[in-house]
Structure 1
């Protein structure tokens, strides 16, 4: 977390998406990688999810309030 906002380094995200880290910033700028942030509520209050979409796949990181990754899932999406 940086200033209360979730952040992930391209060196961590790239391999999870099957990409070289150097490709991540441009692919995010061009829209080839999109993302979604969801804050937990109720029994999940304090947790959050970051979902990244690329090449027909979704990578979801479920995190504790401090940003520690609790679980990681990869699934195909779309079509």
Structure 2
């Protein structure tokens, strides 16, 4: 998940987190970033293949904001162990 300049949380999937975040920062990523800027990578979850990652992305996108914020503090968040 990426925290955006308007305070929203963007959820997506990739097999190269650093590259994809840089694409979003450079304006080459999702249309979601037109009119808002990516500020920080705040949540990363690993251990999925493409199929399960897509299903997990869909499930996360359906969560209310309060539950997404809970994910950020959960043990599932790999952001503290990933070098960025």
Per the normalisation by structure 1, the TM-score is 0.30
- Structure having greater relative contact order (Cα 8 Å, sep ≥ 6): 2
| Larger helix share, 1 or 2 | 2
| Larger strand share, 1 or 2 | 1
